[in-house]
Chain A
Amino acid sequence: MIYFDQVSKQYRDGTPALENVTLSVSPKEFVSIVGHSGAGKTTLLKMLLAEEKPSAGNVFFEEIDIHGLPKNALHHYRRKIGTVFQDFRLIPTKTAYENIAFAMEAVGRRDDEIASDVPYILDLVDIGDKAHHFPHQLSGGEQQRVAIGRAIINQPDVIVADEPTGNLDPVNTYDVIEILKKINELGTTVIITTHNKGVVDAMNKRVITMDKGKVVRDDMHGHYIL
């Protein structure tokens, strides 16, 4: 489904972010990418989201070289991926409902579909009672649930979560991971980057360990080893 073929990335100042990374992710997998800060985890995700271009190598999504896509086709590609960030990145001028609805509006879904799907997703991520709250009126955990709701509303093939629990307390961390697990069980591929040893160990799923831009371990039922 996803294939990084000898991908390297060097920043303008010459710093290597990724070195010759080759890995593949199959459909319905739950993959945790771990590593120290600066190990290249976020760069790897940015490559997948076509936010960064590799200096060498190719990234394939369902056999399509995503960096060969024309600019005007990128937004169609990105609709296949739901994204969750450590800092939530909700739109501050939109309510929880509107933030999730925006993802549907952007892909051209009809008003009646939005009216039926958004309340369902709000309930799924357990934030239905705060549908009309703005982001600044929500706690970190609540904001992250809205962000997950936004990521899954269009039923993407893959959920990419960059440190989704980085700003959350243990209770909310547990809740968010449970939601991501549930999404994965329903058939969506999930890729997360994390520093949280507890999360990775409890998951008992595939773990890719990175260090200095290289993949140093790839364990099918791995643990957080650093």
Chain B
Amino acid sequence: MSTMMIRRVFVNGAKNFVRSGSVTAATVLIMTVTLAIVGLLIFLSAILTNTLTAIKDKVDVNVYFVTTAGEGEIISLQNKIADLTQVASVTYTSREEALISFKARHATDELTLQALEELGDNPLGASLSIKAKDPGQYEGIVQFLSDNPTTGADGKSIIDRVNYFQNKIVIDRLTGAIRATEQAGAAIVLLFALASAVIAFATVRLAIYTAREEIAVMRLMGASNAYIRGPFIVAGILAGVVASFIVLTLFYPLSWYAGSALSSWLGGFNLFSYYLGNFALFFSILTGSGFLLGGVASFIAVRRYLRV
């Protein structure tokens, strides 16, 4: 198709969009609802991810060392653990820091502090707090520790205990719950996105159905299929893009209101901040979806009436 014909396709598409009045309004309205659902799914996904991340952050495994373990040996083990691909972070707590923390926790417990005083020496060992990238990976990390025992100068293991086994049931249940929630979330997002796409498709098809006789006449006038189809695709894309702009505009005051109203309920997650911080993501997904939905739906719908 020549540049002249492409320009005509765009001009005719834009004119169709503007002049089709109620048909255009209905298409844009349905597309707006569809894209609003897609946008809400992005928010839902973010809330879910944020909540799950907060829960995941609360899960860790602590390795407690015997009091005779040397700091060098512990730091060496910390580095080995940090190199594991499953590990997100490893935090070292020295004997002294453990003692200060213990005293702070029991500042009002006179009896415990007095007992500690009478011991004379620091009875607490150093520890490593390990956070895995995924809660399901703790078992592998603990396995690494048992496969690579670290011994001190006396030949005995410097690890006193690992609290994974006592927390295993809780971690396993949490891991299962997180996975199930993620899968359910993805399924819901997919289902709603699919349902909205089907509704948008049906609307565009209906809009083009009203123009079926026009298409037939264009064919009889000798217009090529590409030249007939082009303006409908342009009008469909315009409907999708205009709808996406409406949704992006509506989300500004809505997320502002919801952000302040729901922040405490969502554990500090502010929808308005998220919207502003991820505007490029919203813009690209919504505008891209509108563009694709409008374009592809028009392409398919017109094809039906171009068959000889």
Question: 8 Å CB contacts to B: which residues of A87-103?
Answer: 89-94, 102-103
The distance in angstroms between the C-alpha atoms of A171 and B91, with both chains bound, is 97
A110 touches which one: B4, B19, B218, B221 (CB < 8 A)?
B4
Is residue B115 contacting chain A, with contact meaning CB distance below 8 A? no
B20 touches A93 (CB 8 A): yes
Q: Count the B residues whose beta carbon is within 8 Å of the partner chain — how many? A: 23
The distance in angstroms between the C-alpha atoms of A77 and B224, with both chains bound, is 11
A110-B4, A111-B4 as given contacts; A93 in contact with B220, CB under 8 Å: no
| Contact partners of B19 in chain A: CB under 8 A | 93
The distance in angstroms between the C-alpha atoms of A111 and B3, with both chains bound, is 12
A50 touches B8 (CB 8 A): no
B221 touches A78 (CB 8 A): yes
A89 touches B213 (CB 8 A): yes
Instruction: Digitize B185-222: 1 where CB-to-A-CB distance is under 8 Å, 0 elsewhere.
Output: 00000000000000000000000000001101111111
The distance in angstroms between the C-alpha atoms of A154 and B221, with both chains bound, is 10
The distance in angstroms between the C-alpha atoms of A74 and B8, with both chains bound, is 21
Q: Count the A residues whose beta carbon is within 8 Å of the partner chain — how many? A: 30
Chain A residue with the shortest CB-CB distance to B213: A89
A108 touches B2 (CB 8 A): yes
B308 touches A102 (CB 8 A): no
Question: 8 Å CB contacts to B: which residues of A20-45?
Answer: none
Chain A residue with the shortest CB-CB distance to B217: A89
Instruction: Digitize A180-212: 1 where CB-to-B-CB distance is under 8 Å, 0 elsewhere.
Output: 000000000000000000000000000000000
| Contact partners of B217 in chain A: CB under 8 A | 83, 85, 89-91
Identify the B interface with A (CB < 8 A): 2, 4-5, 8, 12, 15-16, 19-20, 213-214, 216-225, 227, 308
Identify the A interface with B (CB < 8 A): 49-51, 71-72, 74-79, 81, 83, 85, 89-94, 102-103, 105-108, 110-111, 150, 154
